[in-house]
Structure 1
Amino acid sequence: MNHHKIKRLGIISALHEEQEGLVQAMEGLATVTHGMRDYAVGRLWGIDAVCVLSRIGKVAAAMTATMLVEKFGVTHILFTGVAGSGGPSVAVGDIVVAESLVQHDMDASPLFPRFEVPLTGLAHFTSDASLSTHLAGAAHDFVAGDFLDVIEADERRVFRLQQPSVHRGLIASGDQFVSCRDHIGRLGTNHPGLLAVEMEGAAVAQVCFELGVPFAVIRTISDNANEDAAHDFMRFVKSVAARYAFHIVRRFCQQPHPNLAVKAL
């Protein structure tokens, strides 16, 4: 019996609803509680995996990512959840896969340039190109093959969902729920090419950079980051974003990927 090294995928979301169905789909499920978090350990569609809720915010996300690597031996990290649109080209229901992430509330100037994380020399943390391309492929396949079947017609009508687009580019994170047109406008000015705003991804990116762990971040756009951002937010998360996440992760795990080797007999 010959064994290749088993890679372990860590899957993080901020809210319980964003991982709806994933834990239930695990084979050989065991739950380990550590640091006020429940880590679900098992196999997802043939991939050794650990699912966990980080809770909301950069510190919570950074702690969770660190524990996944240091305590659970995760070798790759995937963050999935919702985000606000970063600009007019990104609509509610669209999908954004990060190519890089920035902490939009980081400002240690004049000691360091604004947005640069002190002592790293970086403002933007780049996601793993291979992992992100694989993830974007799963998202495209979801849009083409699953979207109309798994998102109910009533939900598509309520949220005015058309055929979703998949975007790749910059995501900005900060410990603020962005719900003001002026605020999102300033973020767009400060970060050209901005596609989405959220509260965790760039912190996970920094942890993965410092620990040398490949990572990818995918976000479903739940709102336009304006004064209407909180309207029906949880309904969208439960009835739309959770289904996006489940089916995209399923496709991601089922498609062959060289960086997610499984046990060979």
Structure 2
Amino acid sequence: MIGIISAMHDELAELLDILQDKKTVVLGNREYHTGNITNQKVVIVFSKWGKVAAAITTTQLISSFKPTKIIFSGVAGAINPTLNIGDIVYGTSLIQHDMDATPLFPKFEIPLLGKSTIETIVDEKLYQCVEEFNNQYYEYVSPEEANEFGIKSPKIIKGIIASGDEFISDNIKQKQLQNDIPDLQCVEMEGAAVAQVCDEYKIPFHIIRIISDKADHSAHIDFPAFTKQIASKYAKGILENYCS
């Protein structure tokens, strides 16, 4: 069974629509939806926003459903200036940008784990599905929808993703993150927490983030519209193919 997590319902709404033999159980005030996508057993859950919410969801998911791997899909703000709205970041490692236990531990290091970043597990099939989606982009997202959000020729970048309990929306914070974590691609609020839980439970973890904004003063976007019209189509296109 594959566990699939997103922070918001609309990010996986279209994937949930094609879930066959769906059963829903409520645990910890969250709905866990089990079923099949093609012939693959999955459990889909919406974690809510933030690191604590994501960690709670992931721990419950692992304990109750015993997934063989977990995939997180959702939106993020760009830190790499070459990233544009609609681009895809395939996460290779994750860091908590608000983790700072100095002087007891170096900045960003997770206390008692002895590391600042958590690597994701390489999954060539998943990355291939991301590439196939991008190559056939307009089979999933209409030109009109893409134009509405200024999406032009979306690209894929592999790299580090940062998480923190803060919505990044100003240039000063963006520049600080660029200086502190030079190879940082994008920022969000859940992924590194999920990665830490998966690391401690020895569960393979993968993450795909769709760029919804530039994480600066231009971060004022219609998130409900973007997640419903754009991000949900990315998740369905990539993960339906992955499960086939």
TM-score past 0.5 threshold: yes
Out of 169, 173, 185, which is 2:159 matched to? Answer: 169
What is the aligned counterpart of 1:232 among 206, 219, 222? 222
Cα separation, 2, equivalents of 1:204 and 1:150: 28
**What's 1:262 paired with?**
none
Question: Alignment partner of 2:186: what SS?
Answer: strand
Which ranges of structure 2 fall in alignment gaps of 5 or more residues?
A: none
Determine whether 1:211 maps to 2:211: no
5 Å-filtered alignment, 1:7-18, equals 8-18=1-11
Compute the TM-score of the two structures, normalised by the length of structure 2. Answer: 0.97
Structure 1 segments unaligned to the other structure (5+ residues): 1-7, 255-265
Matches within 5 A, 1:166-205: 166-205=156-195
Does structure 2 retain, via aligned residues, the 8 Å contact 1:136–1:166?
no
Deviation readout 1:106-163 (Å, 9 max, x if unpaired):
000000110000000010000011x2x3222111100112x11221222222222111
Aligned residue number for residue 138 of structure 1: 129
Alignment partners' CA distance in 2, 1:106 and 1:143: 34
Q: Choose which of 104, 116, 121 in structure 2 pairs with 1:111.
A: 104
For 2:200 and 2:49, the matched residues in 1 are separated by 21
Partner secondary structure for residue 72 of structure 2: strand
1:154-178 CA-partner distances (Å, limit 9, x unpaired):
2222222111111111000000000
Count of aligned positions: 244
Aligned to 2:116: 123
Which has the larger displacement, 221-230 or 112-121? 221-230
Distance 2:14 2:139 in 1: 16
State TM-score, norm by structure 1: 0.90
- Give the aligned CA root-mean-square deviation in angstroms: 1.0
User: Separation in 2 of the partners of 1:72 and 1:123?
Assistant: 28
Identical positions, percent: 42
1: CA distance, partners of 2:27 / 2:143:
40
Question: Is the 1:93–1:220 contact (alpha carbons within 8 Å) kept by the matching residues of 2?
Answer: yes
Q: Secondary structure at the match of 2:165?
A: coil
Q: Which protein has the larger Cα radius of gyration, Structure 1 or Structure 2?
A: 1
Q: 2:16 is matched with which residue?
A: 23
Once the two structures are TM-superposed, the CA of residue 252 in structure 1 deviates from its matched residue by 1.3
